[in-house]
């Protein structure tokens, strides 16, 4: 099972105006070829963040909730087994006597995949740690109601978000109840693990 660090992003605008679109980002971990695990703070601008906060650790299993979440973009290192889509650009640039070091630029070595959030859950142990250790912290922006932002920010610190990179497959129907189990089984299959040696 290949595990790698990735950047997870989505575009957000609270008023729908193109001029006001923000790119929201967080780090994540891509494992298997299908799953990305990221941090709940990425959801803070969305109205669904309040639903997560109000759930207080109870699982959110509503498909309507997940269908309203935005499409996620996952940027990771280009797989060396994949065909080089920039080969023509490299050849043209070499013909124009460009410096070969240009091809070390990260845009030539990264790829972007799309996926959907299929599960959000709060870790109760991490939630208790946040309450016990970070009780005096202020989390949020200077603009707006800092108290409300702090409550939401602390609630999202103990939340994990699972993204499915195969959500664009035809007839995809996420079953948020079985997502974690399926991901674990897929990882076991790729590594040749059985429950006895896992």
pLDDT of residue 194: 47
pLDDT of residue 189: 56
Q: Which tens digit of pLDDT belongs to each residue from 36-56?
A: 999 898 998 888 988 988 888
Examine the pLDDT at 62 and tell me if it is beyond 70. Answer: yes
Stretch 100-118: mean pLDDT, rounded? Answer: 73
Stretch 164-169: mean pLDDT, rounded? Answer: 76
Residue 117 and residue 95: Cα distance in Å, rounded? Answer: 44
Residue 103 and residue 101: Cα distance in Å, rounded? Answer: 5
Candidate from 61-65, 113-117, 189-193 with smallest mean pLDDT: 189-193
Examine the pLDDT at 8 and tell me if it is beyond 90. Answer: yes
pLDDT of residue 151: 76
Which residue has tokens 């896992």? 198
Band (pLDDT 50/70/90 cuts) for residue 11 is very high
CB 53 within 8 A of CB 156: yes
Residue 145 and residue 138: Cα distance in Å, rounded? Answer: 11
């Amino acid at each position: 099972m290949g595990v790698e660090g990735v950047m997870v992003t989505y575009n957000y605008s609270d008023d729908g105006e193109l001029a006001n679109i923000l790119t929201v980002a967080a780090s994540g971990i891509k494992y298997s070829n299908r799953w990305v695990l990221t941090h709940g703070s990425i959801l803070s601008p969305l109205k669904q963040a309040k639903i997560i906060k109000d759930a207080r650790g109870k699982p959110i299993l509503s498909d309507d909730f997940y269908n309203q979440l935005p499409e996620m973009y996952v940027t990771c290192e280009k797989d060396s087994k994949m065909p080089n889509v920039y080969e023509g650009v490299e050849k043209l640039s070499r013909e124009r006597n460009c410096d070969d070091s240009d091809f070390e630029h990260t845009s030539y070595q990264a790829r972007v995949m799309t996926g959907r959030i299929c599960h959000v859950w709060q870790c109760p142990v991490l939630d208790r740690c946040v309450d016990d250790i970070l009780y005096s912290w202020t989390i949020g922006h200077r603009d707006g109601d800092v108290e409300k932002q702090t409550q939401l920010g602390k609630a999202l610190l103990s939340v994990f978000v699972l993204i499915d990179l195969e959500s664009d497959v035809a007839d995809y129907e996420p079953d948020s109840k079985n997502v974690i189990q399926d991901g674990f089984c897929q990882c076991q299959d790729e590594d040749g693990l059985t429950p006895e040696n896992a």
